[in-house]
Amino acid sequence: MALAELSSALALRLRDLARLADRLDRLESGTGEWLSAQSEADWRAASTDIVLRALRTAADPANFAILTFLSAHSSAPMAELEQAVGLGRLALSERVNDLIQVGLAARHIDTDHAQGTAAGAALVNLINSIGETTAEKISNFKPQTSNFKFPILKFELP
């Protein structure tokens, strides 16, 4: 289920980015033709790009800690988030901005709060699910303990 939620949330983020690009293209300096010129291949490439960017951003341990915290809270003051993840204000701000860029977080400047998004929560759930499944499977591959000792080999030079 997390995969479907993540795909939907990233598609909405991509839609918002496309709307913004279209609006900018319709200004006096643009041609007004950008949106209609986009092909199916362009949309597929953009979709792949946003998925890869979201995965890369979330895969960073500090960013994942932020996402995990935000997925457990509807809204959190930046000061609280700062203490929860152990980052300074500037580093935290930059990381939250990175998450915002790919639609995994949001921030209200007026209240100095950060919020998780549906995409961020879905990605945390997906990563946790993969981690739990991996942990379950590792029990099948644990090495058996033994009393075997490697022999000590002696080499003599002529």
Extents of the domains making up the chain? 2-130
- Give residue 86's region: left, alpha or beta (phi > 0; psi -120 to 50): left
Please provide the average confidence, as pLDDT, over all residues in the chain.
90
Q: Is the pLDDT of residue 118 over 80?
A: yes
Q: Is the pLDDT of residue 117 over 60?
A: yes
The tens digit of pLDDT for each residue in 76-99 reads 999 999 999 999 999 999 999 999
Assign domain 2-130 to a CATH class. mainly alpha
Mean pLDDT of 1-16: 89
Q: Is the pLDDT of residue 42 over 70?
A: yes
Share of the chain above pLDDT 70, in %: 89
